[in-house]
């Protein structure tokens, strides 16, 4: 009789866990720390959720995979959300993971470039056209540099190697919490210029998106609450949280990821539910002025604040 009761309890507990698939924007890395910590502490489970963190086979599929129902949640970039909306991809932001830009314009610290103005007539490497072009254009314009004077070179994702080898004089799009450490470990210090300090409006680097028809799904609020608890825990207990992270992903236990962990800590949203309408309006206007979208959509068409 006891064994039957125990089986029923186990079955009931399993049934209480509602499934949620979270499609990451890239392979697992320290940018996902609040999610991993929440999972390792059992915070999703306490919220009645069975959360699967799924790295994509191809990062470009994330928005359409979420929009088509292959996952309930996707991690996405705020700039890309506007471009997806312009292409009628049904997505809406419901939470924030990393609340500051991570992108940089980077040069060698011991090189001849000491200011953005020094980039006139120089070669700049990039990985992805579109937003990076617009970001670079605004930064150059603020410095009084004609964008047509620089040579843009597609280095794919070899940003640090192309800069170190002097194939280019600068790179645009490298993350300040990864590429600078990657360069240092290779024996070369980098100097970063931050877009938000050179004319580009502040934006959220990483956000949570879903399909509009899921906005009222109670799982999303429970998910964000657990992520919030994870973010606060790793802020209060960084060393303990790092151990949880590498316990879950031991192959990431190296100097690059350890430094990235420390560099990303202050950038995680402690209020992932919160939506800054003014910031989104300002950034939408920048996207439109840069020609990336025809016009900025009303904020409530692309983002919500769950209550």
Whether the per-residue pLDDT at 126 is higher than 70: the answer is yes
Cα–Cα distance measured from residue 103 to residue 87, given in angstroms and rounded to the nearest whole number? 24
Sign of CA dihedral 242, 244, 245, 251: positive
Q: What pLDDT, on the 0 to 100 scale, is given for residue 156?
A: 86
- Matching residue, tokens 């202050």: 266
- Band of pLDDT at residue 118, cut at 50, 70 and 90: very high
| Token pair in block for residue 219 | 């799982």
Mean pLDDT rounded to a whole number for the chain: 94
Mean pLDDT along residues 181-209: 97
Nearest to 183 by CA among 116, 109, 264, 237: 109
CA angle, 26 as apex, 304 and 17 as ends, to 5°?
A: 60
- Band of pLDDT at residue 274, cut at 50, 70 and 90: very high
Mean pLDDT along residues 61-87: 97
Q: What pLDDT, on the 0 to 100 scale, is given for residue 97?
A: 98
Percent with pLDDT over 90 in the chain: 92
- The dihedral region occupied by 178, where left means phi > 0, alpha psi between -120 and 50, and beta the remainder, is alpha
| Token pair in block for residue 66 | 């979420």
Identify which has the larger pLDDT, 19 or 3.
19
Q: What pLDDT, on the 0 to 100 scale, is given for residue 16?
A: 73
CB 167 within 8 A of CB 125: yes
Identify which has the larger pLDDT, 12 or 157.
157
Q: What pLDDT, on the 0 to 100 scale, is given for residue 157?
A: 83
pLDDT digits (tens, 9 = 90+) for 8-37: 444 444 457 999 999 999 999 999 999 999
pLDDT digits (tens, 9 = 90+) for 228-265: 999 999 999 999 999 999 999 999 999 999 999 999 99
DSSP class of 27: S
Q: What pLDDT, on the 0 to 100 scale, is given for residue 145?
A: 97
Whether the per-residue pLDDT at 3 is higher than 60: the answer is no
Mean pLDDT along residues 157-162: 92
Query: Which residues in 256-280 are b (16+ Cβ under 10 Å) and which e?
Result: ebbbbbebbbebbbeebbebbeebb
Q: What pLDDT, on the 0 to 100 scale, is given for residue 128?
A: 83
Cα–Cα distance measured from residue 145 to residue 147, given in angstroms and rounded to the nearest whole number? 6
């Amino acid at each position: 009789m006891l064994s039957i009761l125990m089986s029923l309890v186990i079955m009931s507990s399993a049934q209480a866990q509602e499934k949620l698939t979270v499609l990451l924007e890239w392979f697992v890395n320290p940018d996902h720390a609040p999610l991993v910590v929440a999972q390792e502490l059992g915070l999703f489970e306490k919220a009645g959720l069975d959360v699967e963190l799924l790295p994509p086979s191809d990062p470009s599929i994330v928005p359409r995979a979420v929009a088509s129902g292959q996952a309930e949640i996707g991690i996405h970039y705020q700039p890309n959300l506007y471009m997806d909306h312009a292409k009628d991809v049904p997505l809406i932001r419901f939470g924030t993971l990393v609340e500051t830009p991570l992108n940089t314009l980077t040069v060698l610290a011991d090189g001849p470039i000491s200011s953005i103005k020094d980039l006139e007539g120089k070669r700049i490497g990039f990985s992805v056209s579109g937003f990076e072009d617009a970001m670079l254009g605004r930064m150059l314009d603020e410095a009084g540099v004609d964008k047509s004077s620089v040579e843009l070179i597609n280095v794919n994702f070899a940003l640090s190697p192309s800069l170190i080898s002097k194939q280019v004089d600068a790179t645009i799009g490298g993350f300040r919490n990864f590429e600078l450490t990657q360069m240092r470990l290779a024996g070369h210090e980098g100097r970063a210029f931050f877009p938000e300090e050179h004319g580009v409006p502040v934006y959220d680097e990483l956000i949570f998106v879903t399909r509009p028809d899921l906005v009222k799904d109670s799982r999303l609020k429970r998910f964000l609450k657990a992520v919030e608890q994870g973010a606060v825990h790793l802020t209060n207990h960084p060393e303990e949280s790092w151990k949880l992270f590498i316990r879950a992903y031991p192959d990431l236990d190296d100097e690059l990821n350890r430094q990235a962990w420390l560099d990303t800590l202050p950038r995680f949203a402690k209020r992932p539910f919160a939506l800054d309408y003014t910031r989104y309006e300002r950034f939408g206007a920048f996207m439109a002025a840069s020609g990336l979208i025809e016009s900025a959509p009303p904020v409530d068409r692309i983002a919500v604040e769950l209550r």
